[in-house]
Copies of this chain bind each other. A is one copy, B any other.
């Protein structure tokens, strides 16, 4: 991760606005306060029978490695709609959302990942512009040595541990026990 301050806009200064208790990015000219918020990543572990959808990344970071369909929630979008959009963009997949599988907070990079358990509406998937290749893998076929990010490992494990449960509490990230690395796009948005 580059130093966040290196990407600050030229005309902004970090200072504590009146009535606040944290340093914020404030425009030197007009006083506009640019609040910086943690980012929400939405994604899914999407199954077709006993197979899971994975996408081989066509873009950095971790180009050529396999990931789950996931990305940043956009303005005006619900979390579920965002997860469905990402599956379409990356794998031309149509999802039916089941329930929330996990909430992974990754404070080091100010990211919260909302990962859903989902079913594919049909097995017809193909790479979108950000994927080199997409595939449906049984668990024993997953290329575990070529997984893009730790959180993909977490989600696949959490999916396996809950796949037979109709109702379960979403998994949280025991961050202190886990390596912290982001899902796709981290470097795109620093």
Contact = CB atoms under 8 A, between A and B. Distances in A.
Contact of A40 (B37, B76, B175): B37
Interface in A34-55: 34-40
Among A34, A77, A78, chain B packs the most CB atoms within 10 A around the CB of A78
Interface string A16-40: 0000001000010110101111111
A74 interface: yes
Contacts of A10: 27, 29-30, 32
A153 B48 CA distance: 37
A172 interface: yes
Copies in the complex: 2
Interface residues of A, number: 43
Interface stretch (A62-70, A132-140, A163-171): A163-171
Interface string A170-184: 101101000000000
Contact of A38 (B30, B35, B73): B73
B189 A35 contact: yes
A79 interface: yes
A104 B189 CA distance: 25
A40 B103 CA distance: 12
Interface of A: 7, 9-11, 22, 27, 29-30, 32, 34-40, 72-81, 99-100, 103, 105, 107-108, 110, 112, 114, 167-170, 172-173, 175, 189
